[in-house]
Amino acid sequence: MTLSRSFYALLLEGVCILLFLSGAAAAQADGAGSDPKSVAAQPSRPVDTKATDGKEAASKPDKGSAPEASLGSEAALSRSLALYESGQYEACVAGLREILDASGESKLQRPELIDQAETYLGACLIASGQPGLADQVFAAAIRNNPQMRAPDNLVFPQTVVDRFLRVREMLLTDIRRDERNRVQDAEYKAKEQDAIRRKEIQVTEQLRELAMRESVAEKNRRWLAFVPFGIGQFQNGDNTAGGILLGVESLLLGTCITAMIIDEHLVNRSRDVGIDIKDLDSKRTDAYRVIVASSWGLLGVMAGGIVHANWRFVPERRVTRLRPLPPNLVAPVPANSGQSSRKESRPNASVSPISLPSGYGIGLVGEF
């Protein structure tokens, strides 16, 4: 009994000592926290800012990691439509505007989804008391797609359907005018391009005609200026004077030869029996006069032509002649273009002097 009591007494004393020590330690800690000198005396421990920032960053939600950003364009559209069905019109407007204003991969690609988003956006604006903005949304949607369908009255209120139809009716005249202007612009551009093509074809034909002709310098010979019958004039390029001299001199020469033939005939008749010699002599006298007049006239015209040819002598003359085109420059002739083939096959002839091995002569140069 005595041992048990002493044991309990020792145990009680130990518990009291532990309680006393713990109370003293707590009082010392409180005193150190309230004393600024003790705080300043304590060495400062480095604080791990990276760990702190990491904890704060982990505790704060990232704005870019919102559910809408992780959703695809079609999923975001479905979420915005659900907002409309639940009556959250302002959130629906914000979501639909973000979807319609998106670019790149997050932009709606299918036209029917774009029309659906614009229709719901207009309905949300009407439901939130902004009908003017809804009219602007409907007008922009109709301009982008004139064949856009009206909202379904089983899904949207009749107010939305009526407002859409009214905006489309107001824009119908503008749409038709714009379409008519587009058609007129297309026709004008087509006519302008056709005129340009015709002009290019015309210029090409003119260049081809110029390429078919070449200018060659021909040197004239002085002795040809002394040849009668307009040869000197033809050599100088004066075809009019050459033609006149050729005609007059040929006529005079023919007249002289004819008169000589008549005179020879009259001489042969003088041997006939019973011929009237006086009448025969009178006719021979007339024939002789014609021979003399035509001969002197021929000599005078020849002399005048020779003087004229030497006076207007041209040492060198430019002559234009045709030449064949290379095969790549020859214009193809359509099979059904009879008019163009007849035009190309039309003969073109002219009289001009030609060069011969023994001298010059007059020839007919042309294209047949």
Taking residue 134's Cβ as centre, other Cβ atoms within 10 Å add up to 24
Give the pLDDT band of residue 24 (cuts 50, 70, 90).
low
Q: How confident is the model at residue 191 (pLDDT cuts 50, 70, 90)?
A: very high
Q: CA-to-CA distance for 79 and 72, rounded, in angstroms?
A: 10
Tell me: pLDDT of 358 over 80.
no
The answer to the question of residue 37 being in a domain is no
Q: Within this chain, do residues 238 and 176 fall inside the same structural domain, yes or no?
A: no
pLDDT reading at 5 higher than 50: no
Specify the number of domains making up the chain. 2
135 sits in which H/E element: helix 131-144
Confirm whether 79 is domain-assigned. yes
| Residues 358, 225 within the same domain | yes
> Over 50: is that where the pLDDT of 222 sits?
yes
Cα–Cα distance, 344 to 331 (Å, whole number): 11
Smallest CA-to-CA distance from 137 within 239, 128, 7 is with 128
User: Does residue 204 lie within any of the structural domains?
Assistant: no
- Residue at a domain's end among 133, 163, 181: 181
Same domain membership, residue 231 and residue 177: no
User: What's the average model confidence in pLDDT over 102-128?
Assistant: 82
Mean per-residue pLDDT of the chain? 74
Task: Label residue 289 exposed, middle or buried (CB < 10 Å: 0-12, 13-18, 19+).
Answer: exposed
pLDDT at 50 over 80: no
Q: Do 167 and 301 reside in the same domain of the chain?
A: no
Q: What is the pLDDT averaged over residues 54-71?
A: 41
Same domain, 138 and 229: no
- Cβ atoms within 10 Å, residue 84: 21
Residue 3 tokens read as 């041992």
pTM over 0.75: no
Do 157 and 228 lie in a common domain?
no
Which has the closest alpha carbon to 120: 99, 106, 146, 102? Answer: 99
> Do the domain assignments include residue 359?
yes
Same domain, 171 and 241: no
The confidence band for 248, taking pLDDT boundaries of 50, 70 and 90, is very high
pLDDT range class, residue 194, cuts 50, 70, 90: very high
Tell me what the mean pLDDT of segment 43-53 comes to: 40
Identify the helix (H) or strand (E) that includes residue 319.
strand 316-322
Scored b (16 or more CB within 10 A) or e, 223-235 reads ebbebbbbbbbbb
Mean pLDDT in residue range 260-277: 79
Same domain? For 167 and 279 the reply is no
Residues 359 and 230 grouped into a single domain: yes
| Residue 118's CATH number | 1.25.40
In this structure, of 111-120, 184-193, 271-280, the range with the lowest mean pLDDT score is 271-280
Tens-digit pLDDT profile for residues 117-172: 888 888 899 888 888 888 888 888 888 887 888 888 888 888 888 888 888 888 87
Please check whether residues 145 and 282 belong to one and the same domain.
no
156 and 237 co-located in one domain: no
pLDDT at 66: 38
Q: Is the pLDDT of residue 231 over 80?
A: yes
- Position 265 in a domain: yes
Please indicate, yes or no, if residue 27 is contained in any of the structural domains. Answer: no
- What does DSSP assign to residue 324? P
pLDDT tens column, 293-310: 989 998 999 999 899 888
What is the rounded CA–CA span in Å between residue 297 and residue 304? Answer: 10
Position 186 scores a pLDDT of: 92
Amino acid 51: pLDDT: 36
- Pair 236, 305: CB distance under 8 Å: no
DSSP-assigned letter for residue 330: S
- Look at residue 276 and tell me if it is in a domain: yes
Regarding whether 245 and 352 lie in a shared domain, the answer is: yes
Q: What is the pLDDT of residue 110?
A: 82
pLDDT at 367: 59
Does residue 329 come out as left (phi exceeding 0), alpha (psi in the -120 to 50 range) or beta?
alpha
DSSP letters spanning 87-129:
T-HHHHHHHHHHHHT--GGGS--SHHHHHHHHHHHHHHHHHTT
Task: Provide the residue type at 294 as one letter.
Answer: S
Of 50-64, 80-94, 155-169, the one with minimum mean pLDDT is 50-64
In a domain, 36, yes or no: no
Give the span between the Cα atoms of 178 and 155, in whole angstroms.
32
Range of the domain at 286: 220-330+348-367
